[in-house]
Amino acid sequence: MRGKKSRIAIGCDHAAYSLKEKIKEFISQKGIRIEDFGTDGPESVDYPDFGIKVASLVSSGEFERGILICGTGIGMSMVANRFPCVRAALCSDLFSAIMSRRHNNANILVLGARVIGEGLAIEIVRAWLETPFDGGRHQIRIDKFDRIKYDCLSFCGYGDSDQPGSSLKLKTSRRKRQDT
Ligand code: RB5
């Protein structure tokens, strides 16, 4: 990762709060800037609120990359991949993490805190941050799908900006609950 926008946006729900803190620490120690968009504790929250925040920042280009974590990673993946130009990859192994960068130029890494342990999660983050995109034929393939959602959103009348994701106004809600 390099350049002005080379900072990472991170977000999670209650299931992944403690893993998020560990990953933040690891990334900061690597000298990479990371901004935390919550959640800020183990109280039950709704993962879309945090997924939407991070995915919209990557979609708009404000952040080069993001990391999202929930219990399985599935909900966060579903949320993130609805955003134009977001290529979110749910990874539970090193090979997938590396290939998500080399072939898919993944700009959001998604992890399941209830699926993998802390040690593996850190190694996945390390590999994902250090692996460059191969480009070439893989860029041609990405170009074939990258604008799909942006074009759909424009077609449906969501704003008139040229910036993917810029018209999406988002807010976060939190509430105290017993369920997880
Ligand atoms: C929360 O219980 C859980 O549903 C969430 O963390 C995530 O796994 C959803 O996909």
Cβ atoms of 28 and 4 within 8 Å: the answer is no
Whether 63 and 8 have beta carbons less than 8 Å apart is answered as: yes
Gap from CA of 17 to ligand 1 centroid (Å): 12
Atom of ligand 1 nearest to the CA of 74: 10
Amino acid at 51: G
Spatial CA neighbour of 89 closest among 102, 42, 22: 102
Which of 150, 138, 152 is CA-nearest to residue 103? Answer: 138
Domain map (residue ranges) of the chain? 7-130, 135-169
Ligand 1 close to Cβ of residue 110 (< 6 A):
no
Closest CA to 68 of 85, 48, 83, 82: 48
The yes-or-no answer on residue 138 being catalytic is no
Give, using CA atoms, the residue closest to atom 3 of ligand 1. Answer: 71
What confidence score (pLDDT) does residue 169 get? Answer: 42
Per-residue pLDDT of the chain (180 residues; tens, 9 = 90+): 655 458 999 999 999 999 999 999 999 999 999 999 999 999 999 999 999 999 999 999 999 999 999 999 999 999 999 999 999 999 999 999 999 999 999 999 999 999 999 999 999 999 999 999 999 999 999 999 887 766 666 666 655 545 544 444 444 444 455 566
Nearest CA to ligand 1 atom 8: 71
How far, in Å, is the centroid of ligand 1 from the Cα of 151?
Answer: 30
Q: What is the pLDDT of residue 7?
A: 92
CATH 3.40.1400.10 assigned to 7-130: yes
- Which atom of ligand 1 is least distant from the CA of 14? 6
